[in-house]
Amino acid sequence: MIQSSEHLRDTFHATGRRLTSQRRLLLGVLEESDSHLDAETLFVRAKARDPDISLATVYRTLAVLKEMGLVEEHSLGEEHSHYEAMRGEPHYHFVCLGCGKVIEFDAPPMKQIEEDVSEREGVCITDANLRLSGYCAQCQDTMGGQSCHGE
């Protein structure tokens, strides 16, 4: 969901917010980085360009961007949150328990699951979060594959 600078300003304006240099910087770092950043990493990378930016601003900005739908928050490693800039198509994550690598993928059958659940339970679904975990190809090699499945 990368936007031109003017459009971006409007987007902020529309909700009574201001487009500050810090917010622009943080959005930039998020969009440049293909991977999923945690707040600390985002802070470090932003600080490299603006040494005065504070961690509190990172958290506050992430909250704002999330509220505006420009950024998504994930609990990938169970521990702390990771954030990524929205790029339109919904997608899900596979996390390698060996090396921490994250693979994104789409899963068309999810539509079906959502429909089933929302019909059967009478709920309305606004968000779907799917996280698979296991071992990536490299890690399986490294470990001799003994970690794959319980059997």
- Binding residues for its own copies, per CB under 8 A? 73, 75, 78, 81, 94, 96-97, 103, 105, 107, 109-110, 112-114, 116-118, 120-137, 140, 145, 147-150
Question: Which single residue is written with the structure tokens 């919904």?
Answer: 90
16 CB-near residues (< 8 Å, 6+ apart)? none
Residue 44 main-chain phi, psi, to 5 deg: -65, -45
97's contact among DNA, its own copies, none, with CB below 5 to 8 A by partner kind, is its own copies
The Cα–Cα gap between 42 and 31 comes to: 11
21's contact among its own copies, DNA, none, with CB below 5 to 8 A by partner kind, is DNA
Least Å from the CB of residue 36 to DNA: 12
The 8-class DSSP code of residue 95 comes to: E
Give 33 or 81: the residue with its C-beta nearer to DNA.
81
Give 32 or 78: the residue with its C-beta nearer to its own copies.
78
Applying CB under 7 A, the residues found at the interface with DNA are 9, 12-13, 16-23, 38-40, 50, 52-57, 59-61, 63-64, 79-81
Contact indicator for 80, 39 with CB cutoff of 8 Å: yes
Integer CA distances (angstroms), 8 to 2, 27, 54, 83, in order: 9, 10, 22, 19
19's contact among DNA, its own copies, none, with CB below 5 to 8 A by partner kind, is DNA
Least Å from the CB of residue 102 to DNA: 16
Contact indicator for 77, 118 with CB cutoff of 8 Å: no
